[in-house]
């Protein structure tokens, strides 16, 4: 009896634990996709070197970092620099500017990109459609140095905006638009839209192209107007893409940018133009206070991660899916 039981045990296949099965299946899949893994390896190495390895530098946020000293001789100060940031009136104003600029860019960027994508999709003349797309894409390929120079020229005392408004008798005298701080957020939002709206429409146009065209034909037969087709077919077909992009952009809510604020900012509008990145340059790196600059960077990263996780969780609870 014992011999028969032993023979059955030897002849029956070995049952692996779930973890062992998972590892075996993973290795098998890796072997079958060796070419793809080799293609992605340079990108993985790049991400590790430039995204993960520099995280070691976060230790500077907890030190009074001196470049000439070795790591073992650096003075550890705990949360001193974080305390300074959260109690400094200037940094609180900078944080306000950052959030305001990010929210303006987020709202305007989404509304204008989706609106332009819908309008381009409704064009029936293919040649005119391509011309519109090309013209709207072009500003994206300009560097912010050139773009900021164009914006400054248009908004100068003798610029086009003042000429038009004076000609229409909307204003009585020229306005130095970049010299009034209260106007800066609006100018920045409009500049971001002009520069990036065409580029941002690409993914929405791709999402629209994936919608089954038979739905439009059926809607036409049922007598649906263009606006009704947009409302009940196009927008629902774009919903998943919109949700994913919105989650990703909320994760960057504390990243208002650097170049336009730095190039368009001046002493007259600094109260509204200075954001966290400009603050880091002016009061961190320029003054060799690398620990303060690192603390501000750590704060941005942590807040961005919190916003990303919160937005993704909220989206999944609402049944709209998420990034993970």
DSSP 319: T
User: In angstroms, what CA-CA distances link 107 with 102, 112, 193, 260, 277?
Assistant: 9, 8, 10, 18, 21
- DSSP letters along 5-39, please? HHHHHHHSPP---HHHHHHHHHHHHHHHTHHHHHH
Return d(Cα 66, Cα 74) in angstroms, integer. 7
pLDDT digits (tens, 9 = 90+) for 105-136: 999 999 999 999 999 988 888 899 899 988 99
**Buried b / exposed e along 138-149 (16+ C-beta atoms within 10 A):** ebeeeebeebbe
CB of 89 closer than 8 Å to CB of 177: no
Q: What is the per-residue pLDDT for 150?
A: 94
**Buried b / exposed e along 160-189 (16+ C-beta atoms within 10 A):** eebeeeeeeeeeeeebebbeebebbbebbb
pLDDT digits (tens, 9 = 90+) for 148-160: 999 999 999 988 9
Model's pTM, two decimal places? 0.80
Is residue 6's pLDDT more than 50? no
Closest CA to 189 of 105, 283, 245: 105
The pairing of strands 63-64 and 75-76 is antiparallel
pLDDT digits (tens, 9 = 90+) for 50-79: 888 888 888 888 988 888 888 888 889 889
User: In angstroms, what CA-CA distances link 219 with 15, 124, 145, 228, 273?
Assistant: 56, 17, 47, 9, 48
pLDDT digits (tens, 9 = 90+) for 168-182: 888 888 889 999 999
Return d(Cα 85, Cα 100) in angstroms, integer. 18
The helix (H) or strand (E) run that includes residue 63 is strand 63-64
């Amino acid at each position: 009896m014992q011999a028969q039981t032993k023979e059955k045990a030897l002849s029956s296949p070995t049952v692996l634990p779930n973890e062992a099965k998972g590892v075996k299946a993973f290795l098998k899949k890796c072997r079958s996709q060796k070419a793809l893994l080799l293609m992605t390896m340079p990108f993985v190495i790049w991400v590790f070197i430039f995204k993960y390895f520099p995280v070691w530098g976060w230790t500077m946020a907890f030190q009074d970092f001196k470049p000439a000293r070795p790591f073992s001789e650096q003075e550890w100060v705990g949360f001193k620099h974080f305390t300074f940031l959260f109690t400094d009136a200037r940094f609180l104003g900078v944080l306000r500017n950052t959030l305001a600029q990010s929210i303006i860019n987020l709202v305007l960027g989404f509304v204008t990109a989706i609106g332009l994508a819908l309008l381009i999709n409704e064009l029936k003349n293919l040649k005119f459609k391509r011309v519109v797309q090309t013209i709207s894409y072009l500003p994206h390929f300009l560097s912010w140095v050139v773009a900021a120079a164009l914006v400054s020229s248009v908004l100068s005392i003798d610029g086009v905006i003042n000429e038009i408004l004076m000609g229409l008798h909307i204003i009585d005298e020229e306005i130095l638009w970049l010299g009034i701080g209260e106007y800066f957020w609006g100018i920045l939002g409009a500049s971001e839209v002009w520069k990036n709206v065409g580029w941002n429409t690409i993914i929405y146009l791709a999402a629209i192209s994936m919608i089954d065209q038979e739905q439009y034909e059926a809607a036409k037969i049922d007598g649906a107007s263009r606006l009704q087709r947009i409302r009940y077919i196009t927008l629902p077909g774009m919903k998943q893409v919109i949700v994913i992009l919105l989650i990703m952009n909320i994760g960057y809510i504390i990243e208002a940018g650097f170049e336009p604020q730095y190039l368009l900012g001046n002493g007259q509008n600094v109260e509204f133009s200075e954001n966290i990145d400009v603050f880091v340059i002016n009061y961190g790196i320029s003054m060799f206070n690398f620990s303060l600059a690192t603390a501000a960077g750590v704060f941005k990263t942590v807040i961005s991660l919190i916003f990303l996780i919160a937005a993704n969780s909220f989206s999944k609870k609402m049944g709209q899916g998420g990034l993970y």
